[in-house]
Structure 1
Amino acid sequence: MRKILLSFDGTHYSRGAFNFASSMNDEEPILLTGAFLPQVDFASSWSYAGGGGTVYIPLLESYDADIVAANIRKFQEDCVRHNIEHRVHRDFSSFALPELQKESRYADLMILGSQRFYENLGLENPNEYLRDALHDAECPVLIAPEEFDYPETVVLAYDGSSASVYAIKQFAYLFPELCRNQCILVYAGKKEGKGIPDEDYIRELVARHFSDLTFYELEANPRDYFSTWISDLDRPILVSGAFGRSGFSQIFKRSFASDVIAEKQFPVFIAHR
């Protein structure tokens, strides 16, 4: 049984995030922990400049406790309706992100709603608070839009790095049921025509986990059309490696993952050491 952490910011309930967890439970029973983080005051936020530091946003002195309580009831009722074993955590103090980081340490996977997680904190998508949650998480993270179809095609973003291989392995361990679906390992090289790095090694690994596997090498400057390409696939999920402040890999630049999250069409699985 997998322990799944479902994180909500105080007044926003992500139906998409819950639906993904529910679909996981349909495949194999899970323990679902709902973490209800307090609302924050964006106007009083501050962060370390230049990267390397975590953004800390102070909690509002008084957020709408009635809305939070209603969301907790909704979560509990949804879990009972879908026969999901569940827990509720809401004892967060000082700053929400360090507490969420600790929660992720004791989970196999964290699910966040890309459109509802602190959606009031700015126009960028993913917003800075969501980016920091991804960066600081101590378990893999699944980013779910509010409206999506449960994945039928798995897209593995591979750049030859240890980070991309780590993400592929974590996905295979956590979602063996999805490994039976169509899978496309996508490589985008810095120089067109150079081939997939360590191709024999990565083929040996992924073929052990994914039964319907295709390798695909994108052309130069693939970001220009990656979103269109993945949109043509049947109900995809993107699997990517480390998600830092400047992107999730050196080759995929700023990145495909950011674009897919921003477009709110497909789930994105992100794992880093």
Structure 2
Amino acid sequence: MKKISAVFDGLKFADSTLAYAVKLAESSKALLSGVFLESFLYNSYRLDDLIGSHGLSQVKMKHLLEKDKASRLKLAGIFEQACKKAQLSYSIHHDPSFSVPEVLRESIYSDLLLVCAGETFSPIPGQPPTHFIRELLAGTQCPVLIITAEYQDIEKVVLLYDGKPACVHAIKMFNYMMPWLRGKATEVVSVADSQDTAELPDEILVREFIACHYPAATYTLLIGYTEEELLTSLKNSSKNSLVVLGAYQRSGVSRWFKSSMADRLMKAIDAPLFIAHH
């Protein structure tokens, strides 16, 4: 049995996170852990909501804190009912501390983290990739599935390949976590700088490896500047697709998948991203 940890904001519940989490747990017969993050620095109210006729009101503060607690418990209840309906093994974690360190701690004991691209765990909205997502991806100890704001069935898998160990490791981890997607249309996408170098790195080896897991996979070799060609290609084919990336690290393991590449994909395409460290 695998363990999937789905990360939730108890004050701004992401329905798509629940939908993806239940689907993945059903498909892999996994333990689904709902991680509901809390922080004394993050509440639904503003500072001026605490001001009464005689200054800071302890009564108002108590009322608003209880309201937030009730909201978190209610949304955790929605998660629990969905798990029971789907007959899943599940657990619920309320982590009352700073959000990023708590999620990173959860990642040590998970096979996969699942989180919505727009999560901020802050009253201030943000556009993907948010500060929270950047910090999470830089330090996670397991693969992460960054999902879209709206659930969509996965009909195609795109494996980004540049010949480096990081991207091959990501494909291995993806195959381990989501073997039921082997029957979906699968495309291996690579980029060459010019026609003179227009070939897959380690072509014989990678085709042999891919054929073991995705025998019907097709191959696309793009020519040109890596980021531009990838973004153009994925924008045209990302509908109902899931994209597998090889790394997300501050130092950048590969010339493709430095943090800037993953960031640009999150901004440019509306598709789930499976991201794994090597």
TM-score, normalization by structure 2 = 0.82
Q: What is the percent sequence identity of the aligned residues?
A: 31
The partner residue of 1:97 within 97, 100, 109 is 100
The partner residue of 1:146 within 142, 145, 149 is 149
Partner secondary structure for residue 232 of structure 1: helix
The partner residue of 1:130 within 109, 128, 133 is 133
Q: Which amino acid aligns with 1:28?
A: S
Is the counterpart of residue 160 in structure 1 residue 146 in structure 2?
no
| Shift in alpha-carbon separation, 1:12–1:28, aligned structure 2, 3 A | same
Residue 266 (structure 2) aligns with: 261
* Per-residue CA distance 1:69-88 (angstroms, 9 max, x = gap): 12111111121222222100
Decide whether the 8 Å contact of 1:188 with 1:252 is kept in 2: no
Residues of 1 paired with 2:21 and 2:76: CA distance?
16
Residue 246 (structure 2) aligns with: 241
Partner secondary structure for residue 172 of structure 2: helix
Displacement of 1:248 in angstroms is 7.2
The partner residue of 1:229 within 222, 226, 233 is 233
Decide whether the 8 Å contact of 1:188 with 1:251 is kept in 2: no
Residue 110 (structure 2) aligns with: 107
Which runs of structure 2 are paired with 1:1-273 in the superposition (5 Å)?
Answer: 1-39=1-39, 41=41, 64-93=68-97, 95-118=98-121, 120=123, 123-194=126-197, 195-233=199-237, 235-245=240-250, 249-252=254-257, 255-263=260-268, 265-273=270-278
Residues of 1 paired with 2:22 and 2:96: CA distance?
25
Partner secondary structure for residue 255 of structure 2: coil
Decide whether the 8 Å contact of 2:117 with 2:148 is kept in 1: yes
Decide whether the 8 Å contact of 1:190 with 1:251 is kept in 2: no
Q: Which amino acid aligns with 1:156?
A: L
Structure 2: stretches of 5+ with no match in the other structure: 43-63
More helix by percentage? 2
Partner secondary structure for residue 3 of structure 2: strand
Structure of higher CA gyration radius: 2
Decide whether the 8 Å contact of 1:243 with 1:249 is kept in 2: no
Residues of 1 paired with 2:213 and 2:122: CA distance?
36
* Bigger mean CA offset, 100-109 vs 229-238: 229-238
Q: Which amino acid aligns with 2:265?
A: V
Displacement of 1:107 in angstroms is 0.9
Q: Which amino acid aligns with 1:215?
A: Y
Displacement of 1:223 in angstroms is 2.9
Partner secondary structure for residue 212 of structure 1: coil
Q: Which amino acid aligns with 1:200?
A: I
Displacement of 1:112 in angstroms is 0.4
Residues of 1 paired with 2:89 and 2:137: CA distance?
25
Residues of 2 paired with 1:186 and 1:219: CA distance?
11
Displacement of 1:252 in angstroms is 4.9
Displacement of 1:137 in angstroms is 1.0
Structure 1: stretches of 5+ with no match in the other structure: 43-61
